[in-house]
A and B are shown apart, each in its own frame.
Chain A
Amino acid sequence: MSAAEEVVAEGHQAVEAVPKRAMTLGTGTSLVVLAALLIVPVFVKNFIIFQMTMLLIYGLAVLALNILTGGSGQFSLGQSAFYAVGAYTSAVLMEHANINYALTIPVSAVVCFGFGYLFGKPALRLSGVYLALATFALATAMPQLLKLNFLEHWTGGVQGLVVTKPDAPFGLPMSQDMWLYYFTLLVTIAIYIFSVNLLRSRSGRAFMAIRDNEIAASSMGVNVALYKTLAFGVSAAITGVAGSLGAIAVQFVAPDSYTITLAISLFLGMVVGGVGWLPGSFVGAAFIIFVPNMAESISKGLSGAVFGVLLFLVIYLVPHGARQIAILGQQLAGKLRKN
Chain B
Amino acid sequence: MELFTNQVLAGIATGAIYACMALAVVMIYQAIDHLNFAQGEMAMFSTFISWQLMQWGVSYWAAFVITLIFSFIAGIAIERILFKPLAKAPVLTNVAGFIALYAIINSSAGLLWDFTIKQYPTPFGSAPFLGSQLISTHQAGMIGVTILLLLGLYFFFQYTRIGLAMRAAASVPESARLVGINTSWMIALGWGMATAIGSIAGMLIAPVVFLEPNMMGGVLIYGFAAAVLGGLTSPFGAVVGGFLVGIFENLAGTYIPGVGNELKLPIALALIISVLVVKPAGLFGRHIVKRV
Convert A45-85 into 0s and 1s, putting 1 for each residue whose CB lies closer than 8 angstroms to a CB of B. Answer: 00000000000000000000000010000010000000000
Q: Known: A144-B262, A315-B96, A319-B86. Is A8-B103 also a contact (CB below 8 A)? A: no
A133→B281 contact, CB < 8 A: no
Q: Known: A144-B266, A301-B110, A312-B100. Is A130-B33 also a contact (CB below 8 A)? A: no
B276→A130 contact, CB < 8 A: yes
- Taking CB atoms, residues of chain A closer than 8 Å to B108 are 302, 305
B106→A304 contact, CB < 8 A: yes
Closest approach, in angstroms, between the C-beta of A192 and any C-beta of chain B?
22
Which of under 10, 10 to 19, 20 to 34, or 35 or more describes the interface residues of B? Answer: 35 or more
A10→B263 contact, CB < 8 A: no
* 8 Å CB contact of B33 from A12, A69, A272: A12
* 8 Å CB contact of B228 from A12, A133, A311, A321: A133
Convert A302-325 into 0s and 1s, putting 1 for each residue whose CB lies closer than 8 angstroms to a CB of B. Answer: 111111110110011001110000
- Taking CB atoms, residues of chain B closer than 8 Å to A4 are 292
* A137-152, CB < 8 A from B: 137, 140-141, 144-145, 147
CA distance in complex: A213, B292 (Å): 7
* 8 Å CB contact of B96 from A10, A147, A271, A301: A271
CA distance in complex: A319, B86 (Å): 8
User: Interface size on A (CB < 8 Å)?
Assistant: 57
A315→B289 contact, CB < 8 A: no
B99→A268 contact, CB < 8 A: yes
B111→A302 contact, CB < 8 A: yes
Q: For residue B111, which residue of chain A has the nearest CB?
A: A301
CA distance in complex: A133, B230 (Å): 14
- Taking CB atoms, residues of chain B closer than 8 Å to A144 are 262-263, 266
- Taking CB atoms, residues of chain B closer than 8 Å to A312 are 82, 97, 100-101, 104
Q: Known: A137-B266, A137-B270, A311-B99. Is A316-B85 also a contact (CB below 8 A)? A: yes
A9→B280 contact, CB < 8 A: yes
CA distance in complex: A272, B107 (Å): 21
Residues of A in contact with B (beta carbons under 8 Å apart): 4-16, 69, 75, 122, 125-126, 129-130, 132-134, 136-137, 140-141, 144-145, 147, 213, 215-216, 219, 264, 267-268, 270-272, 275, 301-309, 311-312, 315-316, 319-321
10 residue pairs A–B, Cβ–Cβ below 8 Å: A125-B276, A125-B280, A130-B276, A144-B262, A264-B99, A267-B99, A275-B90, A302-B107, A311-B100, A315-B100
A-B contacts besides A305-B111, A311-B96, 4 pairs, CB < 8 Å: A122-B273, A134-B273, A271-B96, A275-B92
Residues of B in contact with A (beta carbons under 8 Å apart): 33, 35, 82, 85-86, 88-93, 95-97, 99-104, 106-108, 110-111, 221, 224-225, 228, 232, 262-263, 265-266, 269-270, 272-273, 276-277, 280-282, 285, 287-290, 292
